[in-house]
Amino acid sequence: MKDPRRWAPARKLRSRPGAGRRGACLSGVAVILAAVLLLACGGIKAPDLFIVQRSGSGPAARLTLLVNEEGGVNCNGGPTLKLSDPQLVEARAIQEDLREAASKHTSLAPGAGSVLSYYLRDENGSVRFSDDSLGQPAVFRRVALFVLQVAQQVCHLTE
C-alpha cells in the first residue's frame, strides 16, 4: 500500500498580491518616523569630556565649563558654544593627561595666597587644586590656562 502523503501534490503557499511591497513600504515609513522623532527630541548628545568648576575671590572667578567630545562647551549653564579645533585637541589631551590623577581623586591644598580654585570631574574621577597649590603637575597648570582662554575667547567673559 502506498503512503497517501507521498503522492499528495504539494500545496503552493501564496500571499496576497502586493503584500511584500506593502510590508517594505511600512518598514520604510517606520524608519523615517523614527528618524524624525530622534531629531525632534534633540538627537544624540555627544559624551562629555569633563566639567570644570572654578571659584575664587574675584568678581569673575565663579565659572562652570562643560566640555563635550565634539567641541561643544557650555559656559555657566548657557547655550552650547563651539571650541576651536586646537582648543578641542587641548581639551582631549588634558583629559588623557589627567587620567591617573583623576582616578586617584587627587586633591591638593590651596596655598596661603590662593586666588582661584579648580574642581574637574570626568569619567575617570576628579581632581581639585588651587592656583598656588604645591606639587601641581604640569597638566593642572594647563587646565587653569585652558579655562582662562575658553572663558575669554569662547564664552566672552571678562577676567
pLDDT tens for the 159 residues of the chain, in order? 555 455 555 555 555 565 555 555 456 655 565 544 444 455 678 899 999 999 998 888 999 999 999 999 999 999 999 999 999 999 999 999 999 999 999 999 999 999 999 999 999 999 999 999 999 999 999 999 999 999 999 999 986
**Number of C-beta neighbours around residue 124 at 10 A:** 17
The confidence score (pLDDT) of residue 59 equals 82
77 domain residue, yes or no: yes
Task: Indicate the length of the chain as a whole number.
Answer: 159
4 domain residue, yes or no: no
In terms of domains, do 19 and 96 share one?
Answer: no
- Looking from the CA of 50 toward its CB, the CA atoms found within 13 Å total 26
The confidence score (pLDDT) of residue 77 equals 96
7 domain residue, yes or no: no
Is this prediction's pTM over 0.75?
Answer: no
In terms of domains, do 52 and 40 share one?
Answer: no
Using CA atoms in the order 90, 93, 94, 98, what is the torsion angle rounded to 10 degrees? 180
User: Total structural domains in the chain?
Assistant: 2
The confidence score (pLDDT) of residue 158 equals 82
37 domain residue, yes or no: yes
In terms of domains, do 33 and 81 share one?
Answer: no
The confidence score (pLDDT) of residue 5 equals 54
35 domain residue, yes or no: yes
**21 is in which domain, residue-wise?**
14-44
8 domain residue, yes or no: no
